[in-house]
Amino acid sequence: MSLTQTPAYKEGFPDNNFPVKPELNPYDNGNISGDLYLISQSGLFDADYYLRSNEDIRASSVNPMEHFYFQGWREGRSPSQAFDTQYYLAANEDVRVLGINPLVHYINSGKAEGRLPKAFEFKEELCLNMSDISDLGKTELAQTDLKIAVVCHLFYPEMAVEFIRYFKNITFPFDLYITTTHLHEESVRALFAMEFPDIETMVLAINNRGRDIAPFIALLKPHLMQYDLVCKVHSKRSGHNLNLQGWRTFLLDQLLGNSLIINRIVTEFVQNPQLGMIWPVAYPYIVYLGLDTGWGPLPSSDNNFRAASVFFSELQLEELQQDFVFPLGSMFWFRPKALALIVEKNIEIHHFEDEENQTDGTLAHALERLLGVISRRAGFETRTVFFPQK
């Protein structure tokens, strides 16, 4: 089909990656002129941009809007800088499977449903405004005899190399604790023994319950309480949302990104004995969704509150302000004494729900939200960090 031909909408384009299924497609209602009018009024189709971006269309006599409506979106072409066709289809499988024009879907329902027209744009200014600590300081870490550990839940062993790179940024003595699956226990142990021959390393296999929180609690009483400072991280994937795929790197960069960052954080603990926890500011996309504070959205918020109340009724959680903050993503530096209350509760792995790919509303999610609260109720302070990446 040449660019000058007007394609038959009902017939679809059998040679593309997004098959049309008219009998399942609520947008294929024969209202082509209505759809084109919606696009023209949306402010999301920029004819000049479309022609500048597509030389073949610019050289033809085809109407750019009609080309995008019938054919261009199937070829991954975007209608403007404000709407990314490939992103929208990748982020919304339901739209892709039904063969729906992504821009029409966004105008008709996607925008109202909170779907993004393009990947979320990270802005450092927002993070700087949220952070308590953002400067690296001008002095090197003073000599300290603090006993330090790093604990990492490595559910995805293919990420081991990434974590090894971060751990090698630590310039002072530390012990290393790795929890992983039974299947990968031996290979993980061998890899870390090879990479850190001079580091005291313990690798433990644990059942897949309670995400990274259950393994962390399992280590807290028998191992971690003996330390002055601990850094907790884990192999966070967040594959259910394209806009969260940079979350793990964001957290790790802010906690272990280089020796200057690590020294800055440890120095903060050295200089302030009442500092209980340090964690990165909330990931900007989570802030955009309004999920960065409190118990979360309904119905997860009720589940989180109930799960927390079962073990921590003495904290009078019903009196908490709804905008309380916590280490979102559960990666942080902490003084173990600040979390001593968790040890007293004897929470076991069997208390956690079976793994069913939950995104919220479990005991693990409830405990994640309580970490900062427990530290502050114990008389310790909490701080957030954001160090701009240069």
pLDDT digits (tens, 9 = 90+) for 318-370: 989 889 999 999 999 999 999 999 999 999 999 999 988 888 999 999 999 99
Which CATH architecture describes the domain 124-385? Alpha-Beta Complex (3.90)
Cα dist from 248 to 67, 75, 91, 154, 294, whole Å: 39, 32, 18, 13, 21
- Here the tokens at position 238 are 């967040």
What is the domain partition of the chain in residue ranges?
22-110, 124-385
Contact 69, 51 (CB under 8 A): no
CA distance 376 to 242: 34
pLDDT digits (tens, 9 = 90+) for 190-235: 999 999 999 999 999 999 999 999 999 999 999 999 999 999 999 9
pLDDT, position 328 = 96
pLDDT tens, N- to C-terminus, the chain (390 residues): 333 333 332 233 333 343 333 333 444 455 888 899 999 999 999 999 999 999 999 999 899 999 999 999 999 999 999 999 999 999 999 999 999 999 999 999 999 998 999 999 888 999 999 999 999 986 566 567 899 999 999 999 999 999 999 999 999 999 999 999 999 999 999 999 999 999 999 999 999 999 999 999 999 999 999 999 999 999 999 877 889 989 999 999 999 999 999 999 999 999 999 999 999 999 999 999 899 999 999 889 999 999 999 999 999 999 898 899 999 999 999 999 999 999 999 999 999 999 888 889 999 999 999 999 999 999 999 999 999 987
